[in-house]
Amino acid sequence: MNQSDGSWEETPRCRQCNGELKLVKAEGPVETYRCVSCGFEVVGVVTPRLDEFIKSLGPRGKLRVRWGGKVAGAKETHALRQLAPDLQAKSVPEALALLRVKNEWVFEEITRSQAKDLEQKATALGLESSMEFPDAQ
């Protein structure tokens, strides 16, 4: 049924008799095929293509995290390092120097659920935040 590289042939074939397989049932990612010649059934889990999976996650947006219009200090740097992997990878002095020339940290291309999670964490750390999504929900 699968080629050696793991991709589907144009017409799926029965591994018992090499007859043609027809899709008889699809529930979510689980598909059942039946051979038109011998009746052999094959059940498999189908994974979506990457672009379809990303689209299924919903629209992408931004979360802007701010620290009250003041210059970022040690407290703000510590809080943001808990949220942003980019800042975690930097030393504390590097992160502090980077944040001192900014008035916000922007998380881009994130899902709504990621934004909500980060927003809750930012609020708990004493930071302000705002979400921007194309569908404005």
Structure tokens that stand for 79 in this block? 């809080």
Please give the Cα distance from 137 to 135 (Å, whole number).
Answer: 6
* Residues 117 and 80 reside in one and the same domain: yes
* Residues 71 and 42 reside in one and the same domain: no
* Residues 41 and 66 reside in one and the same domain: no
* Residues 121 and 85 reside in one and the same domain: yes
* Residues 78 and 22 reside in one and the same domain: no
- Is residue 40 assigned to a domain? yes
pLDDT tens track for 81-126: 999 999 999 999 999 999 999 989 999 999 999 999 999 999 999 9
pLDDT tens track for 20-38: 999 999 887 889 999 999 9
Q: Which domain holds residue 39?
A: 1-47
In order, the DSSP letters of 30-90 are: EEEEEETTT--EEEEEPPPPHHHHHHHT---EEEEEE-TTS---HHHHHHHHHH-HHHHTS
Q: What is the DSSP letter of 26?
A: E
* Residues 93 and 110 reside in one and the same domain: yes
Residue 92, sorted as left (phi over 0), alpha (psi -120 to 50) or beta, turns out to be alpha
Sign of CA dihedral 121, 69, 60, 47: negative
Q: What is the DSSP letter of 17?
A: T
* Residues 16 and 65 reside in one and the same domain: no
* Residues 34 and 1 reside in one and the same domain: yes
- Is residue 137 assigned to a domain? no
Q: What is the reported pLDDT for 9?
A: 46
- H or E element: which one contains 94? helix 92-100
Specify the CATH number for the domain of residue 79: 3.30.1390
pLDDT level of residue 1 (50, 70, 90 thresholds): very low
Domains in the chain: how many in total? 2
